[in-house]
Amino acid sequence: MTAHPVARYIPLLIEGDEVGLRALFQGAPRVNDPFLGWVEDARFDQFVENSYQGLFERNATVEHVATTATTDGATEECVLRLVRHGATTFLPVAVASHTAPEAQLESIRIYHSMWPLVGFHLVRDPMLPTVAGLALPDVIGRYHDCLARGDAAGIVQQFAPSGGLREAGGSPEIHRGAAALLRFFTLLFSNGGGLGVEHCTIADEGAFCALEYVVTAWGRSSLPHQAAAAVYERADTGLLAEVRIYDDVENPFHQN
């Protein structure tokens, strides 16, 4: 079975295959990159060359995680393995797309943290309009209700017993199991409350649900509005088997 076009983007970028990359798109390529913002057709050849050189110098390889695809779009999840300053670095990446009827891409939005690459965070301006009242299904809706309230015990109950959460920052460690999740969310909510999140678009194929959103606040701290994404993997019970986050939001405790 041929991989969805959105799943071929990172492997082709590692190869520096501009022709192959252009073939993924219905028309002129449009890519929203975490560092550069929107890259349109006129800059695409230089973008591919610069990306290829950077990935080559870091001995980049990619591991596919999952593709969440619906008739309207798709989100590819992968992990880049890079060598930086002689040490191996892992970079979780999500590639989200609107898909044309011929299964080619209209545009793509790349989500990852800059922390593993440069050692600091970058504010990522919103890429999509928020949708007031966007309905989040079943366990994803309950998860976000608890996230907004800062309800650590309640949010842990949305996970299966062996469920886990992977942060965006590049650590291969997953907060797995009720005790580890409770420690994580208790710290997450220790700035006086939950997270302010405004939803943009959702793609739900059953086992996996991808959500793009905008983060506006962290507890009592207002934040510059910034783009983020997450994928929610359901267990057979309907609870969360895993949550994987893709953003570059800086913890307000760490800000100078």
DSSP string, 73-106: EEEEEEEEEEEETTEEEEEEEEEEEEE-TTS-EE
Q: What's residue 140's pLDDT? A: 98
- Domain at 5-112, CATH class: alpha beta
Model confidence pLDDT, tens digit, residues 33-92: 999 999 999 999 999 999 999 999 999 999 999 999 998 889 999 999 999 889 999 999
Residue 226 is predicted with a pLDDT of 96
Spell out the domain ranges in the chain. Answer: 5-112, 138-254
Residue 238 burial (10 A CB sphere; 0-12, 13-18, 19+):
exposed
List 213's β-bridge partners, or say none. 199, 228
* Top-tier CATH class for 138-254: alpha beta
Query: If the chain, 256 residues long, is cut into consecutive pieces of 10 residues, what is the mean pLDDT of each piece?
Result: 87 98 95 95 97 96 95 92 92 90 85 90 93 96 98 98 93 89 96 97 95 97 96 98 96 61
